[in-house]
Structure 1
């Protein structure tokens, strides 16, 4: 049996009894199409693939409603993680039938699984771009918002959310997804409102918990951040955003050793996320591990050579090592890309002999995270205790 179809033993026991009853009825009335569909759904729900496959085969052989049985077959193939077969079936159904939201949703879902969020967006747009007063299927709401999030269409996603939220047309799960989008759009107040409303309505999805943890972190509520992260990581223990937020929480607590471990885990899970590498680099700097910090900042540089803070961070490394020419060149590049680069300012202060002590390093990190987005998207206000500003 596929793991994705497995159920608890108690649920299976009750479900199996119901399936046996339905099979008995079907044995007495084998031409009953609706009853056969009920048998399939029950078998599917308890993970009895053998019975589910039998109903598909007979349903197709009888030929009374082949499209309905092809759709059920596609649904089963998705549960079995045989996505290419499912996609082929759904594509044929889409060509043969009138447009149906369920077919579009399943095709979009398969596209999202392979990281093709543009196709996901295109499949769902006809159903999601309706008049805001019209109902949109709950599963389409969440997948639509996720596609917008991955495509960085944050403004459109929040506009879509606001329109439907005002009319009470937004599901709690969709609010949860939107709350994380609001975090990345630097709208912490809206993120908190959406996440709290989703939680109050019974949604404790990953996005809701991550957004609420990020808000708690921005509010310096480390206990709250840990609480939400514990729930989120119970759901997805290998989620990079969970680990990055945990690392930032530990940095706020000045538990730098633990923060480094969490951020290293996050970087391994999200190797293409620049913010995570920067957070790890700064944690290593505060821990006085210059070599590890350089490796983290160089990893960030490989992802985007036009991000000024990466050049500024490497300038700090060079300045601390007394490599003046290299530091000056990196400062030039950093300020050319971002005239307000805080890391470049700190590197210049080190070169000028104005500061190089751990407290001022912590202050530079405080300033950087106060005005730049951390991996969760939140401004890291008051990341560290207040210290005198460095000279620039």
Structure 2
């Protein structure tokens, strides 16, 4: 008997016993699997009106909310269940899922740890979400170890392979990242993580048209994917389209406000656009969040040079190089400050000269170093010291 036949059968039973909570709940479960969700919601309204303290109805309503992307309501319902003493793997996992979808990976991690205390309670979806939480929280070594064991347990899981591709990308293991991303694409052509991974790898190779095609696909699947907005913005920045780059990167920082590399990319997009005040605001946001960020001080030095404030620029260069002697932005600013006044003025007036300025004897320019910097991601929600 298929799902629709089961629905027809239970509907007939319910017609003869319209207040039976067990039949109602079983029918809701079938609607959750086969749809439409509106039927599940309508039946739950009747059930909860008759049995307001029924925990199964509340759990099912939370599932409807999850399916409707109403994560806040789902989490509220599930936490009420926990407080009432209704605690099981499903409640813990769904709270973790709702939390993760609201970008609260710390909370998700906590509930997933509860599930994992008993190895027999572990299951694919929970383990993959736990792997995501480790990655997001910057526990890379533990994530790599878990990822290795999960590939043995769930060899043909496209979702897992996509998560692993992104994990290895952020660990700078590009060959492994590509390997897992391509495997994930074979199993799930719309796998979000593998699309972002491949986009980033093509971006690193300066194949910006290909990179943008992957980021566009990712955003078609999930318009709230801050990482894809970041990748798209970086692609436009490298293609010297500062207006488009700025728009995309503003989306990225809105979705990932604590991801400092996104703010840094936005600052450079605004520099490219000629919006020096806007660039300064973006850099100051980084410094407020992480006062010891060397590249923020170095970039601010460049901004001060472009504003004609050499005194402030010298102070900022010294601070940036104290924090990181290899800071590319500080080295760029230092090179400009040491140039004759006429050359420094040319650089202030011509962004292309600034980006083409050699930093080292091997001819590496600001643009070369910037490209490597902006294509090196860190986990969304985490920050890096440069």
State the TM bucket, normalised to the shorter chain.
0.7 to 0.9
Q: In the alignment, what sits opposite 2:105?
A: 117
1:362 aligns with 2:355: yes
Whole-Å Cα distance in 2 between the matches of residues 77 and 228 of structure 1? 30
Counterparts in 2 of 1:175 and 1:127: CA distance versus 1, 3 Å? farther
Deviations 1:311-333 (A, max 9, x none): 11111122233322211111111
Q: In the alignment, what sits opposite 1:138?
A: 124
1:342-357, aligned counterparts within 5 Å?
A: 342-353=328-339, 356=344, 357=347
Shift of 1:298: 2.3
Counterparts in 2 of 1:128 and 1:173: CA distance versus 1, 3 Å? farther
Shift of 1:175: 2.0
Query: Which segments of 5 or more consecutive residues in structure 1 lack a partner in the other structure?
Result: 1-13, 379-392
Shift of 1:349: 1.3
Whole-Å Cα distance in 2 between the matches of residues 263 and 303 of structure 1? 18
Whole-Å Cα distance in 1 between the matches of residues 269 and 18 of structure 2? 67
Say whether the 8 Å CA contact 2:174–2:201 is kept in structure 1: yes
Say whether the 8 Å CA contact 1:107–1:123 is kept in structure 2: yes
Shift of 1:74: 4.4
SS class of match (1:207): helix
1:213-362, aligned counterparts within 5 Å?
A: 213-353=199-339, 356=344, 357=347, 358-362=351-355
Q: In the alignment, what sits opposite 1:85?
A: 77
Shift of 1:161: 1.0
Counterparts in 2 of 1:279 and 1:70: CA distance versus 1, 3 Å? closer
Shift of 1:279: 1.5
Q: In the alignment, what sits opposite 2:45?
A: 53
Whole-Å Cα distance in 1 between the matches of residues 62 and 86 of structure 2? 12
Runs of 4 or more consecutive aligned structure 1 residues displaced over 6 Å after TM superposition: 14-18, 29-34
Q: In the alignment, what sits opposite 1:107?
A: 95
Q: TM-score, normalised by structure 2?
A: 0.79
Query: Which segments of 5 or more consecutive residues in structure 2 lack a partner in the other structure?
Result: 357-364, 380-386
Deviations 1:281-330 (A, max 9, x none): 22333344433332332232222211011111111122233322211111
Whole-Å Cα distance in 1 between the matches of residues 288 and 296 of structure 2? 10
Shift of 1:156: 1.4
Whole-Å Cα distance in 2 between the matches of residues 195 and 282 of structure 1? 29
Whole-Å Cα distance in 1 between the matches of residues 246 and 374 of structure 2? 18
Q: TM-score, normalised by structure 1?
A: 0.78
* RMSD over equivalenced CA pairs, Å: 3.3
Say whether the 8 Å CA contact 2:203–2:375 is kept in structure 1: no
Shift of 1:249: 1.0
Say whether the 8 Å CA contact 1:173–1:203 is kept in structure 2: no
Say whether the 8 Å CA contact 1:206–1:232 is kept in structure 2: yes
